[in-house]
Chains A and B, each alone.
Chain A
Amino acid sequence: MTVYTNAQLINQRNIVTLHGSFTVGASGAPTLVTANGASNGIKSITRSSAGVYTITLGDSKITDKYKYYYGIKTGYQFSGTPTVYPQPVDLGYTQSTSRIQVRYYKPTASSGPVVSSTVSDPDNGATIYFEIMMGLY
């Protein structure tokens, strides 16, 4: 892993910030964006089930193990009006597999009417941006 330094004050040690993005195709199929250095430090993105995406940290050959997880921030890009809430729920980090999962929801209405949420794939054609903060040790 090539690591450059960038002067930014922070009151934690050994923080790693990873930026990545993926596009969403038919049936929620994700494709990791890797052109021009994008998604450096991201090994893969997979759709684990409807609306649930698994991000594995590392590169094409190895999985990067981090000790601490400080969170994920996501952004949503879509040319129309999205059907899902653009910000997903963070399902957390599994250290043994170096995987982070997020889950997307959309609003639904039932008799009354009452608005609730159901799990749903992001819109076909959407781009998801994410920033992950990890601690080395």
Chain B
Amino acid sequence: MTILQENRFFGNPDHEKLVFVGTRNAGSTAFVASSVQPCSGIYAVSYIATGILRVFFGQSADHVQKYRSVLSYDMSMTLPLASVTNCIMQHYISNNQCNASTPYIDITVLGITISGDDTNPVAALAATANIAGSSANKIYLELVMNRGL
């Protein structure tokens, strides 16, 4: 691997990048952090409801980390085809509590629902899909946070 330089420019020294790579734990609501890929600043990711992931900040439940704000957020998923029938790989932050005493954010993964009848169908987004419990189902989560409290 060729590394050309070690510096990357950020506009503010308080900005902090958090990365979580993990797989859905079969038979559980929790995701297991990868042992071979970097995970930092996020100590747990688990489902709290259908389609809704909760991401906890810090090193552990006893050592949480509060932030002033979210600066950027991105997530991608590696899923087998059978897992995406009700999921459109679109997601958003549905609850931001990064500055609370128990700091976390909720991420909702969306599907599409259709209501009405054949002549007047209505399409809408909804939290309809969970990522199934399988070691093949992996999420890559990247957050940049503002630590300047």
Binding site for B on A (CB under 8 A): 1-13, 15-21, 36-38, 40-41, 73-79, 81-87, 106-113, 115, 127, 129-131
Cα A13 to Cα B114 in complex, Å, equals: 48
The SS class assigned to the B binding surface is strand
Q: Is B101's CB within 8 Å of the partner chain A?
A: no
Binding site for A on B (CB under 8 A): 1-15, 17, 68-74, 88, 90-96, 108, 110, 112, 114, 116, 118-119, 121-127, 144, 146, 148
Q: Would you call A77 and B93 a contact (CB within 8 A)?
A: yes
Q: Would you call B124 and A4 a contact (CB within 8 A)?
A: no
The SS class assigned to the A binding surface is strand
**Between-chain CB contacts (< 8 Å), 20 pairs:** A3-B11, A4-B13, A8-B8, A11-B3, A21-B70, A36-B69, A38-B71, A74-B74, A76-B93, A77-B96, A82-B125, A83-B125, A86-B92, A87-B90, A107-B112, A111-B118, A113-B114, A113-B118, A115-B112, A131-B144
Cα A108 to Cα B70 in complex, Å, equals: 31
Q: Which residue of A lies closest to B1 (CB)?
A: A11
Q: Which residue of A lies closest to B127 (CB)?
A: A81
Q: Would you call A109 and B121 a contact (CB within 8 A)?
A: yes
